[in-house]
Amino acid sequence: MLNLRISGFLRKRAEEEIQKKMEEHLGRIQLATKSLMNAVAAWRKGDFAGLDREVGIIGAEENTADRLLAEMWLELTKGALKSKLRSNILTFIKRADEIANYAKRTAENMLIIHKVKLPEEIFSTIAKACELIYMCTQKLGEALSIYRKDIQKTIDLTTEISFLEHQVDGLYSKLKHLYFEYQKVSDNFAGLVIFDHAMRDIEKAANSAEDASDVLRSIVISEV
């Protein structure tokens, strides 16, 4: 009986420690997505220095997130948590980390084509999509902070993230129809390809946020 109590205590402490790491990791991802919004705003204003600065910030936050991801992988290999929970947490942090990766790729591609002055409708659509991704990471952070305490609130937040992701999907579809407008301001085919990669990575970032929220919902439901 004593051994079971000790084992349960150690598992609980291990989960609390990994949760702190997860929150720190997600905090870096939130900063990266916030800077992605700022990068779009700078591109929109023709502020190359500002765009370059935000791209640098995103890269730094993504690198820090990657370091924290590696630390968590190492910690989870120690086997202090139950195998199912450990597997779910590994999936969560991997999907969350993808958000920062896609944000970085998007920003770097924006930097490459920064001289292209896009129609205002395209800029406003991109800005809205990036704002929604940032909102996804904020809600994901809120859900992560309470998932061990408030199951219903966590489920509600993950449902909201799914709704936000669906909005990004709609904006991405709209952007694809606006590609013809891009051709009116630039006949550079390579630029169009790079633009397309940037837009697809925005959509992928939203998908990863929803995937991470789905995993978190699975964790709390399995605890019921």
Kindly state the tokens that stand for 213.
């929220």
| Mean pLDDT rounded to a whole number for the chain | 89
Which residues contact residue 108 at a Cβ distance below 8 angstroms, ignoring those fewer than 6 apart?
A: 55, 59
Distance CA(76)–CA(70), nearest Å, equals 10
Domain count, the chain: 1
Domain encompassing residue 73: 2-223
Cα 26 to the center of its chain, rounded Å: 8
DSSP category for residue 145: H
What mean pLDDT do residues 83-106 have?
94
Read off the CATH number of the domain in which 19 is found. 1.20.58.220
Task: Give DSSP secondary structure letters for 101-137.
Answer: HHHHHHHHHHHHTTT----HHHHHHHHHHHHHHHHHH
Contact 22, 92 (CB under 8 A): yes
Distance CA(141)–CA(5), nearest Å, equals 31
Is residue 117 over pLDDT 90? no
What is the per-residue pLDDT across 28-82, written as a single tens digit (0 to 9) for each? 999 999 999 999 999 999 999 999 999 999 999 999 999 999 999 988 887 767 8
Distance CA(127)–CA(171), nearest Å, equals 10
Per-residue model confidence (pLDDT) at position 182: 67
